[in-house]
Structure 1
Amino acid sequence: MFMLNLVIASDTLSPGQSIKDGERLVSSGQSFELGFFSPENSKYRYLGIWYKFSPEKVVWIANRNNPLTDSNGALTFSDEGNLVVLNRSKSIIWSSNSSMVLRNPVAQLLDSGNLVSFDYPSDTQLAGMRMGWNLKSGFEGRLTSCKSTDDPSSGDYTNGINVNGLPHFEMFNRGSTKTFRTGPWNGFRFMGAPATESAPFKSLFVYNETDVYCEFDNPVEVIITIFALNHSGVIQRLQRKKESSTWDVMMTYPRDPCDNYGQCVANSVCKSNKDPRCQCLQGFVPKSQEEWKLFNSTSGCIRKAQLNCFQEPGFLKISMLNRPDPIDFWVECLKNCSCTAYANSDVRGGGSGCLMWFGDLIDIREFEQDNHVQNIYIKLSAYEVMLKNDPILERSRLHQT
């Protein structure tokens, strides 16, 4: 990363002042710097924020989609009180776009890394930065990848919280192709996410009538952690000790092929430690046995026995699975013939709330372990459930076939 080495001995920008290319603001605790830089192998200039002790780790970029072509840029205030980046001809190429006209505005680079960066996330979530929704204003904070290591403009991948049904994180490629999702919030954490009780950061999830967001803090001052989405669509939790010279990877998503969205088809489960990886759920069989023998599972799985809506069904409990996608939780599963499966929405205190699925069960993976067991109840005929729960009857049925 190329930058000039002039520093303004302040963390604050006031009306009438400007930050020119080569000048920098420094937060009061010497944690962050703001200024103009060029990525490696790039001639373009961008206004960004980076760690003072790790200048290569740029955590926010203002004009990522409208770069400067020379070193004549400047950060200043407009007449309306907005922060703006100007080019050589004094044209605005980026603005903070406040809806209010501000008198005597002041911009301060905080030791959290916040200037206006928390309102305009780039590809990195810092401690204290909210990822999610303000339901009143409609504002959404989500991460957007860079195009490449040399091009910080908005890339192909976005990661944010879906608030339809129970909140869960989703990643999309080019805005429309879902590539990854977590399980929904279960009262303790997003299903499938690793436990963080012993981690050097503390997560917080808020879910109420006005806000749905996730944030974290760094209570261990000597260890910094960040959450970043790279240009390849990989989400990483990074950590660095302040005296260290490198960032270490704590967590990576997707972790294995089963994390890729829709890795296995309808009514099947992805098991990363099995071969073949995709296997039909209990009570279901391959729609095409010939294709599955050739490791082609695209036709999916169908029920062994069709349900009779006039007969009372049974429910088979299966644990350690990521819940299917999508969900609907407004009707009672037992009395609705098209309901395929149900589960508790909150696992605390023995479980509460009800989620239901209709039609095919999509994007399911198996977990090897989970401290907060997730049970899913799949609707089968009462006879099938009896067979599954009685090994003698099951062996007898297999012998007859």
Structure 2
Amino acid sequence: MAGDSITLTQPLKDGQTLISSNETFELGFFSLGNSTKRYVGIWYYKIPTHTIVWVANRDDPIVKDGGGVLRINSDGNLVIIDGGGNVVWSSKIGTNSTDSIAQIRDDGNFALTDNTGTLAWQSFDHPTDTILPGMKSGWNLHTGLNHILTSWRSTNDPSSGNYKLYMDIHGSPQLMLRRRSDSVLMFRSGPWNGLGFSGIPEMRMYNMVHYEFVQTQTEVYFITFTRRDIIPRMNLLPSGVLGRFLWVEQKQEWNQLWATTKDQCNKYGVCGPNGVCNTSDINLCDCLSGFKPKSPNEWYLKDGSDGCVRKTELDCGGDAFVEVSDVKLPDTSNSTVDKEMSLDACSEACAKNCSCTAYATANISSGRGCLMWFGDLWDIRTFANGGQVIYLRLAASEISQGNLKEDQQIAVKRLSRNSTQGLDEFKNEVVLIAKLQHRNLVRLLGCCVERNERMLIYEYMPNKSLDTFLFGNGSPSLVWRTRHDIVMGIARGLVYLHQDSRFRIIHRDLKVSNILLDKEMNPKISDFGLARIFQGNLGEANTRRVVGTYGYMSPEYAMDGVFSVKSDVFSFGVLVLEIVSGKKNRGVYQSEIHLNLLAHVSVK
């Protein structure tokens, strides 16, 4: 059969296949190895490695050479019939359409539509062991349909195996990988943080795959989209390993981009409650700050499964919070989430609730949302890159001043004796940054004010400031993709300052030297010494003391001292021009007239 669909009068017999119109997927009967069992499934049409992505009758095979048929029954259902005329599998839908059609679509979805064109059933709603782009993984709360991934029993047996992947919607939703025989939890993705799952930072590394997480009153699901020129899939292997694979045409093989077995710390709860798994630690497990091993002897033997207990019991009103950074967020099954709450409000809410043991920002992309945990914290691990920040509740006596992680690199901003930044500006910078948390704002780790010494301790930015790449001699040129990502990152940071943080903050000194770049070239807005904070709906002010950097100041601010969010937007526009052109705003010169970059662009 050469087509891509079957009808009531045109079934699919064993030996025939359907091929999607773009020739990516093929549907038909198949057997594995030397088995005589026959299944109906979908596989890649042009990939020589026989890779099956869906099986209809995985637990109800028919006998080889038994005359199997896939057809649309008179009641409108898709059915597989064996040689004896017995229905071994059915789509089990309630329809009486006599003019239905079932089509293998270009995305690998086998879809049944009735005579009105309405979707009646689709294979994407009943996955086996593979997630394809465009396929939902999660819950339809209206119908009760749960898209559960179940492994094969073995590489030559597609029947339901011993592992399942599903969306757990208790607390903040997250993917769970569980062993079916004893319900042991093997792996947890962590909650969605606006950019990816907290426990899978690799999701942000591959820009050819776009991820979305949707949570409404009727649905909670995770979905992927990709470019048309690549072929990715997520597969739950018979061994219980969940992996993401990409077909490499040149090598004619599947390349594994990521897997749950990449290291020991991906195993759920390996360090027990309130423990932290660290692959760079010789002992693998450590306790959260303020905690100690519950079973010291077992920890000495490198068994941290009993976890940790508090050194000092909480006193509610006398408690404080300590920042734990670069980690996978704890299991959110015992958490609550408020998508709109700011970090400041989240901190206050957790402090007032004596049962709250930790809190964090739910969405690091927008800088909003509040996650609060209650009870023990499970399944925490560290990441070299891509981890998140959680604020841990401790007895005040357990919080020491100025502690940094061992071997942690920091950047210290020391105010020189000749600096024009006064004590008020210094305090302003400390107060402001302490209130902010966003992936595109530099993070303050601590400060020091003693006699004439004033210092700020920031997270270290290995790629220094943006002007080094744009204007520095001998610096590598930035590719367009990186320039685009930097512009978008700065814009996200500004939106947070102007709209999404608890207060409206105007930076007033946005320029390339105040944009720092981390290891992955993510931009971070820094230097808040001149920033102004507004409450409520206020967003404009006058000042007699005009401060900032000429070339980046808006005209109304430079001449009249009037500043608002528009002042930062003007500075951002200058920044964009400098990033795109690679030229300084005040460094453009023409022989007949002197022009800055802004005027030069206006003339052009």
TM-score for both structures, normalised by structure 1: 0.89
Aligned mate of 2:392, from 378, 386, 394: 378
Structure 2 CA distance for aligned equivalents of residues 252 and 302 of structure 1: 31
> In structure 2, what is the equivalent of residue 3 of structure 1?
none
Q: CA deviation at 1:293?
A: 2.2
Residues 50-89 of structure 1: pairs in structure 2 closer than 5 A: 50-54=43-47, 56-71=50-65, 72-89=67-84
Aligned mate of 2:319, from 313, 319, 328: 313
> In structure 1, what is the equivalent of residue 255 of structure 2?
248
The secondary structure found in structure 1 opposite 2:204 is: coil
Partners of 1:268 and 1:280 within 8 A in 2: yes
Letter in structure 2 aligned against 1:43: T
> In structure 2, what is the equivalent of residue 395 of structure 1?
none
Partners of 1:327 and 1:355 within 8 A in 2: no
Summarize the Cα distance change of 1:302–1:51 in structure 2 as closer, same or farther, 3 Å threshold: same
Structure 2 CA distance for aligned equivalents of residues 301 and 388 of structure 1: 24
Partners of 1:285 and 1:303 within 8 A in 2: yes
Alignment of 1:286 onto 2:281 = no
Between stretches 378-387 and 18-27, larger displacement belongs to: 378-387
> In structure 1, what is the equivalent of residue 160 of structure 2?
154
Summarize the Cα distance change of 1:128–1:291 in structure 2 as closer, same or farther, 3 Å threshold: closer
Alignment of 1:139 onto 2:145 = yes
> In structure 2, what is the equivalent of residue 35 of structure 1?
28
Q: CA deviation at 1:197?
A: 5.7
> In structure 1, what is the equivalent of residue 282 of structure 2?
275
> In structure 2, what is the equivalent of residue 353 of structure 1?
369
Residues 175-194 of structure 1: pairs in structure 2 closer than 5 A: 176-193=183-200, 194=202
Alignment of 1:368 onto 2:384 = yes
The secondary structure found in structure 1 opposite 2:297 is: helix
Q: CA deviation at 1:38?
A: 0.3
Q: CA deviation at 1:134?
A: 1.5
Structure 1 CA distance for aligned equivalents of residues 231 and 313 of structure 2: 54
Structure 1 CA distance for aligned equivalents of residues 250 and 6 of structure 2: 30
Provide Cα deviations, 1:208-242, integer angstroms capped at 9, x if missing partner. 22222122223142x21111111011111111145
Q: CA deviation at 1:258?
A: 0.5
> In structure 2, what is the equivalent of residue 114 of structure 1?
109
The secondary structure found in structure 2 opposite 1:183 is: strand
Unmatched segments (≥5 aa) in structure 1: 1-7, 392-401
Provide Cα deviations, 1:320-368, integer angstroms capped at 9, x if missing partner. 111222332279321222322111222234x322222222221111111
The secondary structure found in structure 1 opposite 2:363 is: coil
Aligned mate of 2:130, from 124, 129, 136: 124
Summarize the Cα distance change of 1:338–1:254 in structure 2 as closer, same or farther, 3 Å threshold: same
Q: CA deviation at 1:39?
A: 0.9
Partners of 1:35 and 1:47 within 8 A in 2: yes
Which consecutive aligned stretches of 4+ in structure 1 deviate over 6 angstroms post-superposition? none
Q: Looking at both structures, which has the greater relative contact order when contacts are Cα pairs under 8 Å and sequence separation is at least 6? A: 1
Letter in structure 1 aligned against 2:378: I
> In structure 1, what is the equivalent of residue 352 of structure 2?
335
Alignment of 1:49 onto 2:42 = yes
Summarize the Cα distance change of 1:274–1:67 in structure 2 as closer, same or farther, 3 Å threshold: same
> In structure 2, what is the equivalent of residue 262 of structure 1?
269
Partners of 2:271 and 2:306 within 8 A in 1: no
Letter in structure 1 aligned against 2:392: I
Letter in structure 1 aligned against 2:194: G
Letter in structure 1 aligned against 2:303: N
Between stretches 145-154 and 180-189, larger displacement belongs to: 180-189
Summarize the Cα distance change of 1:70–1:256 in structure 2 as closer, same or farther, 3 Å threshold: same
Partners of 2:8 and 2:98 within 8 A in 1: no
Structure 2 CA distance for aligned equivalents of residues 300 and 27 of structure 1: 52
Letter in structure 1 aligned against 2:154: S
Partners of 2:197 and 2:203 within 8 A in 1: no
Q: CA deviation at 1:62?
A: 0.6
Summarize the Cα distance change of 1:202–1:296 in structure 2 as closer, same or farther, 3 Å threshold: closer
Letter in structure 2 aligned against 1:113: G
Letter in structure 1 aligned against 2:214: V
The secondary structure found in structure 2 opposite 1:63 is: coil
Provide Cα deviations, 1:254-282, integer angstroms capped at 9, x if missing partner. 32111011111121100011110011111
TM-score for both structures, normalised by structure 2: 0.60
Letter in structure 1 aligned against 2:64: D
Q: CA deviation at 1:95?
A: 0.7
Q: CA deviation at 1:188?
A: 1.7
Aligned mate of 1:17, from 10, 17, 35: 10
Q: CA deviation at 1:387?
A: 4.5
